[in-house]
Structure 1
């Protein structure tokens, strides 16, 4: 029984330690995975796993190892912010893989980037023809940034000389899982009574609503628990 309690305690401690470390190192670690972040994530994950399950190593030794590694990682992040050479070594540099519509085979071989990976990344950006691309750069986090040729760029309202509408900046969630988000209502000047009346006007009650959001156009979109679809799609 004592062994189970010990494992549970070490696992909870490991989870809390990782959360605190992620908070300390900032969102960069989880948003853009550079070489530094990749090494940090793997090492800390390994130490945390040992903290949770390896009873042969004292917990305090592993906590100390986590603390030291966190300190080193934090120093590397600060150094990368202040010194360009350190940033280049820690995070790497972007690599141009397409220049003026031409694939740079030498650069791709240097970074071990295959044509299959390039084509997949282009398709993820809704580009199926290489001839549409002017420049493509593989960023330090492994994502591909693409600049299309002028003739393939999407038309904007500015191009069409259409005046932008006075839309709301962000969609606002009003109801989630049947519960009114009172804080969101108060911060955005939406009356709870008005929202309830709108739901009644639709022939529904609050308990029928799974999700409600005010879109960027100001329209209220309601999603019901019972959607009344005749043949709903079920992906197994």
Structure 2
């Protein structure tokens, strides 16, 4: 029983420590996963696992190791922001693998990338014909970004000389049947106005699961009672 309690406490502590470390390192570490981020994530994960289940290791020693490694990772991140040379060494740099519609085989060999991998990445971007590609770049996070040839680019409203309405970022107003007061205040939306809009749709705030003011300024309400008699995947 004592071992179970010890493991429970260690696991809880490990989770709290990693949440704290992740908050310090920031969202970019989660989203980018460059060389530096990959090493930091793997190492911190191993240390946290040891803190959680390896009862033969001293808790404070593991915590010191985690704090030290987190400090190193944070320091490298800070230095990378100030120095392009350090940034290139820590994070690497993008590599062009297609230029002017031509595959750069030498760069692909350096990256140890096969044509199968390249084709798969292109298909994931809805490109099934490689002749559509003008440029392809392997980014720092391991993903490929593609610029299509002009003749394969989608037509935009600007190309058709159509009037474009200004759009704004969607604003969430109600979630789980409760008004998000902070968001309303920041966006100069009164709760009274929101309640009146709900009433005009014969709804109360408690009836609404989710409400958002979309990018085009329209209000969208999703009610708890969807009134769908035969929903898909009911079971």
TM over 0.5: yes
Q: In the alignment, is residue 187 of structure 1 matched against residue 186 of structure 2? A: yes
**Gaps in structure 1 of 5+ consecutive residues:** none
CA shift, 1:12, in A, is 1.9
Residue number in structure 1 paired with 2:69: 69
The 1:26/1:207 distance shift into structure 2, 3 A limit, reads closer
Q: In the alignment, is residue 154 of structure 1 matched against residue 151 of structure 2? A: no
- TM-score (norm. length: structure 1): 0.90
Secondary structure of 2:107's counterpart equals: helix
Q: In the alignment, is residue 139 of structure 1 matched against residue 136 of structure 2? A: no
CA shift, 1:153, in A, is 1.7
Secondary structure of 2:134's counterpart equals: strand
| Equivalent residues in 2 for 1:123-138, closer than 5 Å | 123-138=123-138
Which range moves more in the overlay, 202-211 or 36-45? 202-211
The 1:231/1:128 distance shift into structure 2, 3 A limit, reads farther
Residue number in structure 2 paired with 1:196: 195
Residue number in structure 2 paired with 1:178: 177
**Gaps in structure 2 of 5+ consecutive residues:** none
Alpha-carbon distance in 1 for matches of 2:120, 2:51: 38
Paired residues, what number?
235
Q: What's the RMSD between the two structures over aligned residues?
A: 2.0
Q: In the alignment, is residue 210 of structure 1 matched against residue 209 of structure 2? A: yes
Residue number in structure 1 paired with 2:55: 55
Residue number in structure 2 paired with 1:84: 84
The 1:142/1:57 distance shift into structure 2, 3 A limit, reads same
- TM-score (norm. length: structure 2): 0.90
The 1:75/1:188 distance shift into structure 2, 3 A limit, reads closer
Residue number in structure 1 paired with 2:228: 229
CA shift, 1:191, in A, is 2.6
The structure 1 segments of at least 4 consecutive aligned residues displaced by more than 6 Å after TM superposition are none
CA shift, 1:235, in A, is 9.1
The 1:191/1:71 distance shift into structure 2, 3 A limit, reads closer
